[in-house]
Amino acid sequence: MKALNKWPLLLVLTLLAAASPGYGQAKDPAPVYVGAWSVDNEWKYVTPEVLKEIGTKRILLGSRSWGLAISGWVARYIKDLKVVYGKRVEEGKFDAVSPDAFKDPGIFNFVVDGSSKRLLFFDDFIRKEPWSFGGKIDGALQTLYYMGDKQNLDETYFPVLDALAKDFPNIKFAVATHDINAVGKAASGKDEVEASGWNIRGGDYSEAVIKHYYGKLPIFDMRDIVSTRPDGTVSSFVHTNGKTYRTMVREYCIPNGDLIHANAPEGAQRLGRGFVILLAKMYCPDKFPPNPDAPKPEILK
């Protein structure tokens, strides 16, 4: 008996495969999410090669004190990354940020005032003259927290960020969850309570960030990072509304300071490393192997 000609069969199989959904297309990248698990398990992937690549990028960082602490840690300990600071930006006073801020690669950190218009400074610097950073930068992140805002931040800031991501596809925008405080008596004598505005209202905003942006934009989950200990246990409480909220791990604050900043060495390191891991995942995703143990954010489970 003559051997069957296998070529027609191979041709048919090839055509069927080509017609199947997703054939020849790259798989969707894994969602970029950096929480406590990443800080405790993925720092090892931030190699000199990765830092060198991040160092070629121009990153706009808008913040208040938490962002300053993060960029300050990076400036002190990650010598491969250049950090530059602008002056305090106040409503109507934009000369604190130079149009030439991104003449060279690096992380440019500007600090906002407490006005409700602070949500739009980020937008102004990216869209408007004389800055027009939208055509100059590679990435951008603005950390926000409630400062007397009457409206919820997801109602006011999400539309700003969504429009920026749509209008500037050349920029990798990231989003951060809300700051939280530890519980106890601060050095000033002030009692920081668990059911504070930051922990409750900020906690609800943090959940909104994850629900809205997971898989869409890179997420820097500061709340998870500073409420989780290296052994995986979490500092939290059950509110009278029945929901569980996070508080900052007390040891992440310096003993003789306030309880609203992760300014102890371990706390600062966790946030600083988390920020660098975020940038590494944004620009060197192939350096992070898939890990089945990596948890999803709690709100998505």
DSSP letter for each residue of 28-57: PPPP-EESHHHHHHSGGG--HHHHHHHTTS
pLDDT of residue 19: 43
Domain ranges of the chain: 29-178+204-224+265-288
Three-class DSSP category at 4: coil
Give φ, ψ of 176 to 5 degrees: -115, 150
Sheet with 172-176: strands ordered across: 33-34, 219-220, 172-176, 139-142, 58-63, 106-112, 83-89
Query: Are 234 and 172 in contact, with CB atoms under 8 Å apart?
Result: no
CA distance 118 to 211: 24
Radius of gyration of the chain (CA): 22
Q: How far apart are CA 235 and CA 216, in angstroms?
A: 28
pLDDT of 93: 67
CA–CA separation, 202 and 217 (whole Å):
19
Say how many Å lie between the first and final Cα of the chain, rounded.
Answer: 60
pLDDT (tens, 9 = 90+) of the chain, 301 residues, equals 444 444 444 333 333 444 444 444 444 578 999 999 999 999 999 999 999 999 999 999 999 999 999 999 999 999 999 999 987 887 766 678 999 999 999 999 999 888 888 889 999 999 999 999 999 999 999 999 999 899 999 999 999 999 999 999 999 999 999 999 999 999 899 999 999 999 999 999 999 999 999 999 999 999 999 999 999 999 999 999 999 999 999 999 999 999 999 999 999 999 999 999 999 999 999 999 999 899 999 999 8
Q: Is 101 exposed, middle or buried (0-12, 13-18, 19+ CB in 10 A)?
A: buried
What pLDDT score was predicted for residue 94?
63
Distance CA 253, CA 266 (A): 9
Q: What is the DSSP letter of 93?
A: B
Identity at 123, one-letter amino acid code: D
Class of domain 29-178+204-224+265-288: alpha beta
- Asked whether the beta carbons of 271 and 66 are under 8 A apart, the reply is yes
Cα–Cα distances in Å, from 189 out to 183, 185, 262?
A: 12, 6, 18
- Alpha carbon 252 to chain centroid distance? 19
Contacts of 57 (CB under 8 A, 6+ apart): 105, 138, 139, 279, 283
Q: Tokens 């805002």: give the residue.
A: 149
